Structure 1
Amino acid sequence: MSVFRTILTYSDLESKTVKINDDTILNHDDIIDVMLESNQVDNEVLNYIRKIRKKWDLENIVSLCIMKQRYTLTHSVLKECKLPFKAIYAKIGIEFDAIDIVYLLRCMYPESSIKMEKSYLPSLLLSFQRSNTFWLAKLSMLKSLVDHTNYIKAESFLLYTLRSLEKDDVTQNPMYYAPNVLLFTCNLIEVCRILVSKYNFLGAYTEKIESILIKSTASFIEDIEDEFQLRELVFEKDYENRDSLDLLSKHNIVDIMNNKNMEKIALELWTSQYDVKGSLFTTSSALKIVAYDSFNKPRDILKDFFCFNWEYRTMDNFDHHLYQFEVWKTSMMAKFITEGLFLAILTIIFQYYLMEATQAATAVQSTFSSYSGESDPTTM
């Protein structure tokens, strides 16, 4: 290692005394090492990158930055040099657990990254086995790639996940490294249900995984005595801007909520203005099936209504209304009572008109019977 490289490696780039543009003092390798060691970017470094752009392959610099998990430097090089997206960047980021850089690539190159997502699916699945960290981010990425996942890959992922959760050594359990156990559990259960909806034979794996997750998470929540700490966990957002309450309600994970502190938070939100929107009539599941599609948009009855359409026979594709916080007993009872009253009123109205129609039919029948009896000569 040269003297200049040693000096610059252990000094701040902002206060360096050696000029980078002076090729007689520093060579190219020295500059790259300084960049990777510091993770700081200033005008002189960027000028040097522009200078060597035609002399050296900048793709290798980006790859090295990703391997070293240099987020700021990677962003600056891609932005300043206007480099195109390549799937190898995402693959390297996944392999080296630089997940923040992978999300950076998805933000900078949305169209290109979506087109090439399928190419780095194998790397993403292997990353679950290679490392127990960043699972929440990886699960969010996996959900967008489920359509490209075959049965063997899905089974392998679920089998490894089950074995990891069953290990006695907590340091080998992905839940141990999750910054928010509640969000981790909800997202993993969501992935399991997406996979089992595609491959029904995987239900045995997903049931065991869900059972372990719910039991462990419920114990974890039970041990939290600080209500404010629990509140922070509950309202933290995932990579899709959803909190734990949204996911618990959507997937009916009610067993996790059997906790005094959770009940306090739930009751407080139930009486507050938290995300309360829409009409009270939309709490009816029957109305929702008929009037709304799976994206919560009003149906075109003339176009969409068909009695054998599978969307009308299941509620799996409908998100629960914001009034239907099924994680709370209060909300569950409100939903059941509201829908029960609606069905009772509907039944009474139907019964009333049915009786009216029956009485009218009886009167008409008796009239015709008497008329036919008077005109029949055999009765005279």
Structure 2
Amino acid sequence: MRIDIIAGARPNFIKIAPIISAIKDLKNNEIEYRLIHTGQHYDNNMSGTFFQQLNIPTPDYNLEVGGGTQAEQTGSIMVRYEKLLNDSFKPDVCLVVGDVNSTMACSIVAAKMGIKVAHVESGIRSNDWSMPEEINRIVTDSITSYFFTTSITANKNLVDQGVSSEKIFFVGNTMIDTLEKFKSKLIKPDIWDSIKLDKNNYLLLTIHRPANVDDDEKMKGYLEEILEHSNNLSVVFPVHPRTQKVIEKLKINHKNLYLVEPMGYLQFNYLVKNAKIVITDSGGITEETTVMGVPCITLRDNTERPETVTVGTNELIGTNPLSIKPFLVKLFDEKWKKGEIPDLWDGFAAKRIIDILVNLNQQ
């Protein structure tokens, strides 16, 4: 069986690492694969360090698409992947993960060329069409052949969409596979000693969604509310250059706010593991905090990962900055929910996926 494995952005790298490892663990070499990096994330902190830290092999191909608008990036990926599919290696399956532009673009090209699409993390929905990721998910799932899901909720979403239950496989979460494998190898980042951090004595903040970053008043409100109600703890905020420019424009200077550069997987998750709380607008981080038992606040009106709220440690509080205070009060009053780990988030999702693909190929 021949498989193209597609990766383009930071979350993809975390999710494909255990899949590649599971393929290598096969005893009879049933699967031959190509790893294709689209180049959607091309900064070393967003791409290169993840390959190094997670022991991901050098990609067989890098499409090097770089940045651009949604349409420019998607179109460039499609053109370059189509050319790659015209060479002598003909995959039986194009395996995509998550919901980034690379996921949708390569799925469309593969489906049009008669290649089956396997979507890892299929079926998740925010029901918010203002999110580019939601459109990517829906388009990808509309042309997928094999659906690998992280939750029963995702299964239900797919059935409601009209997908045959025979094509849906509840396997767990490959992002958690990676976390389980590397949680004992997390690395203390350089800033730990320089700004005198210690376990539970800081808040970790990540904000990246345009709806939050591009709204000056909202961004200012978030930072002011967090800093005012942080019990004088440090607030560590890994920021991308674009976000840092917004903050500089707002002229927010506070002795407890530390703007730091984006960091590698092992360093960032060291910060997550030891934080008093994580405040974020990311979906994937809420999965990691749930498994590590770390309190988490999500600055969004919806989430495609409801199990992090209903089962885990995450609270979905909306996008009004004034909603932050009562949850920080609850945190410092030691009244945060304990949370549990969702079903099958046990470190073996990738093995289940590969075993299923091998079995399907033998039918």
With the length of structure 1 as denominator, give the TM-score of the two structures: 0.25
Structure with greater helix share of residues: 1
Structure with greater strand share of residues: 2
**Greater Rg over alpha carbons, structure:** 1
With the length of structure 2 as denominator, give the TM-score of the two structures: 0.25
